């Protein structure tokens, strides 16, 4: 009597291969990922009249693709909603905020590209008072773990800001898991709670960052009465 086979646990590479086959002519790779997808019934082999063998995604595979699509869409919507919340909070605090900037940073004598979810500066005409801040938004644990492995990405954020924060959906990670160079906010339906303040560093915006900001459009809203009230009527940093 043979032992029962363990239940198949699909990984990201299996779902990615399904998408590739769905979008392609279905030429086989003949690797172990393909073997597993064939064995579980998400792919099927099709032989043409000429004898060539291709792959097609089965109905079960289509179900998996749709399930993945809907989950990714939910995560993306939740992520964008939280990005919007954080950016709006920055404008209410009297700051100019940008979403999805593509920025270059010098990391270990090399240039690295980064795309912080929210980048903001104080609304001021004095360069020394800009206080650039990066907020990186996470709504699922897999993304948190991916960032924790990406040292260069985190170093780039630190190079671009005087403060850097991780904003975590409540329950996906503990503040202690985030490196101490970063502040941590926890996001719930009730609002944003500071779990650990971000260390402040002196920082002057490099010319390349100035040019990136000049080409981009900040989030509308900083001209509102709330933002002006947060700035105050007589703040020295506005002169």
Q: What's this model's pTM, rounded to 2 decimal places? A: 0.68
Alpha-carbon distance of 222 to 238, in angstroms, equals 14
Under 8 Å between Cβ of 183 and 134: no
Please identify which residue in the block is written with the tokens 């792919």.
43
DSSP class per residue in 13-71? HHHHHHHHHHHS------SHHHHHHHHHTSEEEEE-TTS-EEEEE-HHHHHHHHHHHHH
Question: If you average pLDDT over every residue of the chain, what do you get?
Answer: 87
Residues of the chain with CATH 3.40.1350: 77-229
pLDDT at position 183: 97
- Higher-confidence residue: 239 or 212? 212
Alpha-carbon distance of 223 to 83, in angstroms, equals 20
φ/ψ of 47, rounded to 5, equals: -105, 125
Give me the mean pLDDT over the 14-43 stretch: 91
Domain 77-229 has CATH 3.40.1350: yes
φ/ψ of 190, rounded to 5, equals: -80, -20
pLDDT at position 51: 83
Burial of residue 161 (CB within 10 Å: 0-12, 13-18, 19+) is buried
Is residue 223 very low, low, confident or very high in pLDDT (cuts 50, 70, 90)?
A: low
**pLDDT tens digits for 45-55?**
999 888 889 99
């Amino acid at each position: 009597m043979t032992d029962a086979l363990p239940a198949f646990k699909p990984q990201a590479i299996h779902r990615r291969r399904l998408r590739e086959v769905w979008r392609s002519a279905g030429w086989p790779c003949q690797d172990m990922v393909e073997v597993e997808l064939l064995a579980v019934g998400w792919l099927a082999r099709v032989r043409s009249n000429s004898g060539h063998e291709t792959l097609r995604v089965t109905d079960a595979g289509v179900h998996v693709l749709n399930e993945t699509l809907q989950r990714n869409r939910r995560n993306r919507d939740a992520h964008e909603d939280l990005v919007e919340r954080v950016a709006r909070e920055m404008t209410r605090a009297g700051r100019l905020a940008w979403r999805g900037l593509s920025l270059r940073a010098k990391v270990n004598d090399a240039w690295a590209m980064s795309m912080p979810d929210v980048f903001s500066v104080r609304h001021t005409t004095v360069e020394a008072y800009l206080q650039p801040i990066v907020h990186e938004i996470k709504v699922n644990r897999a993304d948190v773990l991916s960032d924790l492995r990406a040292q260069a990405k985190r170093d780039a954020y630190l190079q671009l800001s005087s403060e850097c924060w991780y904003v975590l959906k409540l329950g996906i990670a503990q503040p202690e898991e985030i490196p101490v160079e970063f502040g941590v906010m926890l996001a719930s339906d009730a609002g944003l709670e500071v779990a650990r303040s971000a260390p402040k560093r002196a920082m002057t915006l490099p010319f390349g960052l100035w040019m990136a900001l000049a080409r981009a459009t900040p989030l509308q809203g900083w001209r509102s009465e709330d933002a002006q009230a947060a700035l105050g009527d007589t703040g020295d940093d506005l002169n």
